Amino acid sequence: METITSAVQAIQERDKEIHAFLEVYENNAKAGIVVAVKDNILVQGKRVSAASKILEPYTASYDATVITKLKEAGAIIIGRTNMDEFAMGSSTENSAYGPTKNPHDLSRVPGGSSGGSAAAVAAGMCDVALGSDTGGSIRQPAAFCGVVGLKPTYGAVSRHGLIAMASSLDVIGPITKTVADAKKVFDVIKGRDPFDSTTVESESGIMNYELRKKENIRIGVPREYFKEGLDPEVEASVKKAIFILHNSGFIIQDISLPHTDYALACYYIIMPAEVSANLARFDGIRYGLSKKSDDLLEVYTKTRGEGFGKEVQRRILLGTYVLSAGYYDAYYAKAQKVRALIKRDFQKAFEKVDVIVSPTTPAPAFKFGEKSNDPVEMYLSDIYTVSANLAGVPALSVPCGTTKDGLPIGIQFMGKWFGEETLFEVGKKWEQLRG
């Protein structure tokens, strides 16, 4: 566990080059788990901007439920971390306040959108960081930075106090150094919240998924996740991990998730549609940036034109288009039907296996600028992570190895709904096997 002194020292020594933090809080606490918070999760009395100019002057009037729970558990909130603006991105290059760099190679991205949180944990600036995961935004940066990232089951953790991106997909989760730490944080932040009607009660038994004997846990390998487009070093590392798990007593089964090829297209219709609806509140009238004008429409256009970055504008436009008259049925309604099919794929798979394993990302961390000019190429970074969000299942990324250049590789374990305990058991066993 980092002490507050060593965490602050690490920030002072390394954050000028990494830029994981947007703000470090003054703190008189002597002991406790040091937690960094993604800049879209509200901490009362502190600035929260979602890394956007449109919210630059905004101060949170209350604590997010996860922050309340962490404070009650004695955690020290050390600061807010950098991210892609409004959590839209896979590289943290879309922050209005400059990019975060990967601690393993400063010429490469830390992943996104929770890049600042992953980089802060990887660089020893905190024990734990909170992120949000809409299509892989906890797991992908965790894989790129060589740390552990958990996307809980949708409904396991309250979203109250999270600045919404896509409300049917967003989940708050921890980024940590070990699976055991991820479990500890999850146990603190999970549970029903009257402020979030999508949450369920953690003591109801639904979360206490009954574990088989570890040696009898069945792990499914989806053939659709090991096709062309997968980096050879990532593929070799993950397949070696599967072989080791098999030799240690896990039952490995070949499975199919047949609608995988449609997941990314489905996600990039549903997510922008929800973005369009959620970001309509940023109008220059109620809070945040406001560009004055004699004409109300001009207040809207000036505020949004100057306050939102290009990627945010792109997704709002795309979402507004797919929700518009004449296109709703052709795009949005059809995408929801495909989402139901993807969820059914997981239901069928979990009749045969307890856990599904895959690479977390198709390639290791890429260089700055390598994909930022091609949105489609950037979106492909989420190809192995979006399905878990569309289906609502929990998913855990754990370090798996490194490339010949020393870049981290992540392996992803996906579990049954509210089956986090099984993921933790498999993840911890993998850490032991990996050594």
Give kind and range of the element (H or E) at residue 176: strand 171-176
From the list 52, 95, 113, 132, the catalytic residue is 113
Where would I find the H helices in 248-392? 263-278, 296-307, 310-323, 334-349, 375-379, 386-391
Tell me the Cα Rg of the chain.
20
96 token code pair: 């209005």
Q: Which two tokens stand for residue 416?
A: 């049954």
Of the candidates 70, 32, 38, the residue with the CA atom closest to the CA atom of residue 188:
70
> 36 by DSSP, 3-state: which?
strand
The answer to whether residue 290 is catalytic is: no
Q: What does each C-alpha distance from 418 to 113, 154, 354, 356, 363 come to in angstroms?
A: 24, 9, 12, 14, 28
Q: Are 59 and 44 in contact (CB under 8 A)?
A: no
DSSP 404: T
Active site residue 113: yes
Report which residue type is found at 218: R
Query: What's the CA gap between 198 and 404, in Å, rounded?
Result: 44
Q: Which CA distances in Å does 235 have to 92, 108, 411? A: 25, 20, 10
User: Which residues contact residue 199 at a Cβ distance below 8 angstroms, ignoring those fewer than 6 apart?
Assistant: 155, 156, 157, 158, 191, 192, 193
Residue 39: closest CA among 95, 110, 119: 95
Cα–Cα distance measured from residue 162 to residue 63, given in angstroms and rounded to the nearest whole number: 10
| Cβ-Cβ contacts under 8 Å for 86 (sequence gap 6 or more) | 40, 50, 51, 52, 163, 165, 275, 279, 312
How many Cβ atoms are within 10 Å of 344's Cβ, its own excluded? 13
Is 137 marked active-site?
Answer: yes
Segment holding 415, helix H or strand E: strand 408-415
Catalytic residue among 117, 137, 381, 387: 137
- Cα-based angle 56, 35, 430 (whole degrees, multiple of 5): 125
> Which residue in the block uniquely carries the two structure tokens 């009650």?
72
Q: Annotated catalytic sites, by residue?
A: 38, 113, 137
